[in-house]
Structure 1
Amino acid sequence: MNSHSLSEIKREIEQIGRRLGCPRNCLPTFGFSEDFGCPHIEVNASGLHYVVVERGVELERKTTHDLNDLLYIVFEAVTFSMAGDYELKHRIPGQDSRRILFRRQLELLGSVDADWVTRLRQDQHKILACNPFNDGVESAR
Structure 2
Amino acid sequence: MRPLAFLKTSKLQEEITHEISKILNDYRDQIYFEKPLSGGKDGRYVFADDEGYHYIVCERGERMVNKLTDDLFDVKFWTIYPIVVSLSFEFASKYNLSAEEDPRVIAFPKQIEYLKEIHPNFAKRGEIEQDEILRNNPIH
TM (norm. structure 2) is 0.85
Could you tell me which amino acid in structure 1 is paired with residue 44 of structure 2?
A: P
Q: Aligned match of 1:79 in 63, 75, 84? A: 84
CA RMSD of aligned residues (A): 1.8
Q: Distance in 1 between matches of 2:95 and 2:17?
A: 27
Residues 8, 49 of structure 2: 8 Å contact kept = no
The number of residues matched between the two structures is 133
1:92 aligns with 2:97: yes
Q: Distance in 1 between matches of 2:17 and 2:33?
A: 11
Gaps of 5+ in 2: none
Residue identity over aligned pairs, in percent, reads 23
Partner of 1:21: helix, strand, or coil? coil
For residue 4 of structure 1, what is the aligned residue in structure 2? Answer: 7
Could you tell me which amino acid in structure 2 is paired with residue 100 of structure 1?
A: I
Q: Post-superposition shift, 1:121?
A: 0.7
Q: Post-superposition shift, 1:69?
A: 1.4
Could you tell me which amino acid in structure 2 is paired with residue 48 of structure 1?
A: Y
Gaps of 5+ in 1: 135-141
Q: Post-superposition shift, 1:23?
A: 2.8
For residue 30 of structure 1, what is the aligned residue in structure 2? Answer: 33
For residue 50 of structure 1, what is the aligned residue in structure 2? Answer: 55
TM (norm. structure 1) is 0.85
